[in-house]
Amino acid sequence: MSDKKQSNAMWGGRFASGPDAIMEAINASIDFDQRMARQDIEGSRAHAAMLAQQGIITDSDADAIREGLLTVLSEIDTGTFQFSKALEDIHMNVESRLKELVGEPAGRLHTGRSRNDQVALDFKLWVRDQMDAVVLGLEALMKALLVQAEAGADVVMPGFTHLQVAQPVTWGHHMMAYVEMFARDRSRMQDARVRMNESPLGAAALAGTGFPIDRYMTASALGFDRPSANSLDAVSDRDFALEFLSASSICATHLSRFAEELVIWSSAQFKFVTLSDRFSTGSSIMPQKKNPDAAELIRAKVGRINGSLVALLTIMKGLPLAYSKDMQEDKEQVFDAADSLMLALAAMTGMVGDMAANKDSLEVAAATGFSTATDLADWLVRELGMPFRDAHHVTGALVKMAEDGGVDLPDLTLAQMQSVCADITDSVFGVLGVHNSVASRVSYGGTAPAQVRAQALRWKKELK
């Protein structure tokens, strides 16, 4: 069933008929790549200026093109632009409208370039903007965590391994752990940005061009460090998008872990944290419910972001050089991942800004589960000169005694302790309290409030 439409106005010279409707449906990318309109127009304006400077087109043609492109942009911005599926993608939609607006000069814009370098350029510009936006989003989240960390630098809470109480830590220390993770996510985006910042424009279809273009001029006009050095590579790789997606996946993994902790911590069983009404929802049947939906959705977003990464890796795998249409499938993956990540970052920042650490529940929880047993063992080593392995054994016996008696370690009497190890003195009780425990952990990067404050201050300066 062929539909006898006219052949494509941009490339239809050798075509007798237009595409089948199904062909148009599978081929067109305009429904999604219109998100790159601003980048497309920016790239074309730089290209036109360069063509004029190199004497490839006249100044007056370049002026008409550059002005006309601004009109197209404002039509798109104000929503009056008519996108056409028959024109396939954003590149041909813009150029076709430019032709309507300025006439013949529009046909000279595509000199010395191809849609292959054009799409690589537009997509790079789009991804680069997103990398910058993610960096800003991460910085906002880090700042919110720093406020929590400083306010809770000496609020004691249980530190877990295997989700079993391990040793007391501070709320501030826990918040600062995420500051470090999000800082590495930020630097991953920044590293990737440096690596990708080469302009593909002028690589043309795949082989470069015979026109005397100046690729350095367009590269610098568009904020790139240099033009890419190989035209085949420039039009055929999407590793910059893969790096964005992999850095996004790692960041989303961090967000997901933190979100999971907030879900657990806000439960009635833990009561470590109170989330604000602004970032919770109610139940339509159970009136008492306040659900951590934002945290749950952040926890889940990593699924789609990882999916996008795997999808694009799979799309790119096995593609021969140079451009193949497969690569058109790159955009929806990246758009969706970027939207998901930005939303998750914003929601997490809002939640962290609003949430309240429940000091009392945290301290009670910190003191249960024999959390200062390591402090006791360390005391035996320090004060009695016991080898650590023996101290571990003695402490284990004392924990068993406390457990059997249904009490915590500081509740044992001195006599009870001495029945296990005769040399223990009264001063042992000094290390069994959770505040003493955290205050003693002054090693660099440790949980002592002084350490936490120093780290928070360092990050505050860095982010100023």
Q: Give the active site residues.
A: 162, 283
Smallest gap from residue 33 Cβ to ligand ARG (A): 6
Give the integer Cα–Cα distance in Å for 336 and 359. 39
Among 45, 66, 115, 441, binds ligand ARG (CB under 6 A): 115
| Short-list 223, 212, 252, CA closest to 126 | 223
SS3 154: coil
Total of chain residues touching ligand ARG, rule CB under 6 A: 10
Smallest gap from residue 212 Cβ to ligand ARG (A): 24
> What is the phi/psi pair of residue 440, to 5°?
-75, -15
- What is the β-pairing status of strands 226-227 and 356-357? unpaired
Tell me, rounded to whole angstroms, the distance of Cα 22 from its chain centroid: 36
Joined together, the tokens standing for residue 99 give 């032709």
119 touching ligand ARG, by CB under 6 A: yes
- The stretch near ligand ARG (CB under 6 A) out of 96-104, 322-330, 346-354, 410-418 is 322-330
**C-alpha distance from residue 463 to each of 117, 173, 305, 354, 447 (Å):** 36, 18, 27, 20, 22
110 touching ligand ARG, by CB under 6 A: no
- Which is closer to ligand ARG, CB of 327 or CB of 417? 327
Among 323, 370, 379, 459, binds ligand ARG (CB under 6 A): 323
Smallest gap from residue 276 Cβ to ligand ARG (A): 42
29 touching ligand ARG, by CB under 6 A: yes
SS3 196: helix
**C-alpha distance from residue 259 to each of 264, 299, 326, 344 (Å):** 9, 5, 35, 10
Q: Looking up tokens 């940005």, which residue turns up?
A: 193
- Which is closer to ligand ARG, CB of 148 or CB of 328? 328
- The stretch near ligand ARG (CB under 6 A) out of 112-120, 185-193, 334-342, 385-393 is 112-120
* Contact pattern from residue 154 through residue 173 relative to ligand ARG, giving x for each residue in contact according to CB under 6 A and a dash for the rest: --------------------
Among 209, 228, 236, 328, binds ligand ARG (CB under 6 A): 328
Smallest gap from residue 127 Cβ to ligand ARG (A): 13
Strand locations in 131-211, DSSP E? Answer: 156-161, 164-170, 198-199
Strand locations in 123-192, DSSP E? Answer: 156-161, 164-170
- The stretch near ligand ARG (CB under 6 A) out of 43-51, 113-121, 278-286, 289-297 is 113-121
| Short-list 112, 116, 133, CA closest to 344 | 133
- What are 375-382's contacts with CB under 8 Å, separation 24+? 375/167, 375/431, 375/432, 375/436, 375/437, 375/440, 376/409, 376/428, 376/431, 376/432, 378/431, 379/428, 379/431, 380/421, 380/424
Smallest gap from residue 283 Cβ to ligand ARG (A): 44
- Which is closer to ligand ARG, CB of 33 or CB of 261? 33
40 touching ligand ARG, by CB under 6 A: no
- Which is closer to ligand ARG, CB of 204 or CB of 376? 204
Among 39, 93, 116, 455, binds ligand ARG (CB under 6 A): 116
95 touching ligand ARG, by CB under 6 A: no
| Short-list 259, 235, 250, 143, CA closest to 189 | 250
- Which is closer to ligand ARG, CB of 115 or CB of 128? 115
- Which is closer to ligand ARG, CB of 33 or CB of 185? 33
- Which is closer to ligand ARG, CB of 29 or CB of 372? 29
Smallest gap from residue 92 Cβ to ligand ARG (A): 8
Smallest gap from residue 208 Cβ to ligand ARG (A): 16
- Which is closer to ligand ARG, CB of 10 or CB of 151? 10
93 touching ligand ARG, by CB under 6 A: no
Smallest gap from residue 50 Cβ to ligand ARG (A): 21
Give the integer Cα–Cα distance in Å for 120 and 217. 17
327 touching ligand ARG, by CB under 6 A: yes
- What is the β-pairing status of strands 226-227 and 198-199? parallel
Per-residue three-class SS string for 406-463: CCCHHHCCHHHHHHHCCCCCHHHHHHCCHHHHHHHCCCCCCCCHHHHHHHHHHHHHHH
- The stretch near ligand ARG (CB under 6 A) out of 115-123, 208-216, 259-267, 282-290 is 115-123
Q: Looking up tokens 């952990």, which residue turns up?
A: 441
89 touching ligand ARG, by CB under 6 A: yes
Joined together, the tokens standing for residue 366 give 């910190």
Applying CB under 6 A, which residues contact ligand ARG? 29, 33, 89, 115-116, 119, 323, 325, 327-328
